[in-house]
Amino acid sequence: MLKFPKAFVIAAASLLLAGAASAETYGLGRPATADEVVAWDIDVRPDGVGLPEGSGSALDGEAIYTERCAMCHGDFGEGIGRWPVLAGGQGTLVRARPVKTIGSYWPYLSTVWDYVHRAMPFGDAQSLETDEVYALTAYILYLNDLVDDGFVLDRETFKTVKMPNAEGFFPDDRAKTETWTADNICMADCKSDVEITARAQVVDVTPEDPTSKHRTAETTENTQPGTDGTVQLSSVAAPDPALIDEGAKVFRKCAACHAVGDGAKHKLGPHLNGVFGRTAGSADGFAKYSKDMVAAGQDGLVWDQDSLTTFLKNPKGLIKRTKMAFGGLKKDEDLAALTAYLQAEGKGQ
């Protein structure tokens, strides 16, 4: 939790009071109810004020972390792909390229607890029980060698944990220390020639547009589960190329975790080549499925137009403990476009 100037806190409080006043003065909205304020007011202070009753051990947190967090943050907090690294990095803040993790950079344990509670897991925020948040926070401390594996976190032990970078943050005093004034700020025609002398590191965080290699045949093969459990081939009309193009755009939401098309390989999630007709939880070479996903496949779930649409619309509605963090596509046109794209591009090798 960062330290904010007193003026900021006063301004925020004033806005809340103004919100209540506006309902009476301007006829806009209404005052928040007591229950609404309680639901919103879930922040935790560095001194532990705001923590709910509960507890969780690092050992308990390991199982929760493996199930809910490791697919993005790695088995040991090392991060996968471009997802944040949670552990390590101690002593690197003095370097030109520091490794900013919870153990090396974050100044307060309250920030960890609050962020896990408020925003994690990605795509399923605030789904964790209070004891699960305590356990996960304890396990993250353990990953950073700040506690032992038997550590139990609760409201009392919370106060005993001091983060390594606790003294690395200080109040913003630029209003007093900055030397520039309105008289020496240039706003136009400041320099006749501009020369680029250096560039920031290219981090390449935006997925590239998938390259379309659309099928132009009037019909294509689709797969359907047979009554005896085997997969049968049937001939169906090929998707509209314009719909596939739209699906390529929708797939950008998936590209951080999945690949499809020629040469596609497993990433955080399995590649989606051949997903039509594939038994759930069975992509060759991919072993990071949740137990519920594997069980669904063993119970006969095969990906076809209907099952994929249902899953992509509400992943956890079909597979309760799926590791896919994405919350789902809400528009029917996006669902139709994405499944058309997967059907067309998913024949890549």
For 92, other C-beta atoms within 10 Å of its C-beta total 15
- For residues 224 and 323, membership in a common domain is answered with yes
- For residues 35 and 98, membership in a common domain is answered with no
Averaged pLDDT, 4-19: 47
Strand partners, 279: 302
Cβ-Cβ contacts under 8 Å for 218 (sequence gap 6 or more): 237, 238
Q: Is residue 289 part of a domain?
A: yes
Do 319 and 293 meet the contact criterion of CB atoms below 8 Å apart?
yes
Which of 31-45, 154-168, 218-232 is the least confident region? Answer: 218-232
Residue 21: predicted pLDDT: 53
pLDDT range class, residue 321, cuts 50, 70, 90: confident
**Hey, which bits of the chain come out as E strands?**
55-57, 152-154, 219-225, 231-237
Q: Is residue 177 part of a domain?
A: no
- For residues 24 and 127, membership in a common domain is answered with no
- For residues 127 and 240, membership in a common domain is answered with no
For 144, other C-beta atoms within 10 Å of its C-beta total 22
Residue 229: predicted pLDDT: 44
- Find the CATH number of the domain harbouring 276: 1.10.760.10
Is pLDDT at 183 greater than 80 in this prediction? no
Cα angle 98, 83, 167; round to 5: 35
Q: Is residue 141 part of a domain?
A: yes
Domain boundary residue, one of 160, 186, 205: 160
Considering 69-83, 139-153, 219-233, 323-337, the range whose residues carry the highest mean pLDDT is: 139-153
Domain boundary residue, one of 117, 137, 160: 160
As a whole-number percent, the residues of the chain with pLDDT over 90 amount to 42
Q: Is residue 174 part of a domain?
A: no
- For residues 27 and 52, membership in a common domain is answered with no
- For residues 46 and 28, membership in a common domain is answered with no
Do 58 and 151 meet the contact criterion of CB atoms below 8 Å apart?
yes
Considering 31-40, 107-116, 231-240, 261-270, the range whose residues carry the highest mean pLDDT is: 107-116
Q: Which residue has the tokens 């907090």?
A: 77
Q: Is residue 173 part of a domain?
A: no
- For residues 24 and 124, membership in a common domain is answered with no
- For residues 55 and 152, membership in a common domain is answered with yes
> Which of left, alpha, beta for 261 (phi over 0: left; psi -120 to 50: alpha)?
left
DSSP codes of every residue in 110-159 = HHHHHHHHHH-STTSTT-S-HHHHHHHHHHHHHHTTSS-TT-EEETTGGG
Q: Is residue 256 part of a domain?
A: yes
What residue type is 25 in one-letter code? Answer: T
Q: How many domains does the chain have?
A: 3
Strands 55-57 and 231-237: unpaired
Residue 202: predicted pLDDT: 52
- For residues 51 and 36, membership in a common domain is answered with no
Q: Is residue 214 part of a domain?
A: no
CA distance 100 to 106: 8
Range of the domain at 278: 219-345
Averaged pLDDT, 141-151: 94
Q: Is residue 283 part of a domain?
A: yes
- For residues 237 and 135, membership in a common domain is answered with no
**Hey, which bits of 198-328 come out as E strands?**
219-225, 231-237
- For residues 50 and 149, membership in a common domain is answered with yes
Q: Considering only CA atoms, which of 75, 158, 47, 71 is closest in space to residue 120?
A: 71
Kindly state the DSSP code that residue 49 receives in the 8-state scheme.
T
- For residues 225 and 339, membership in a common domain is answered with yes
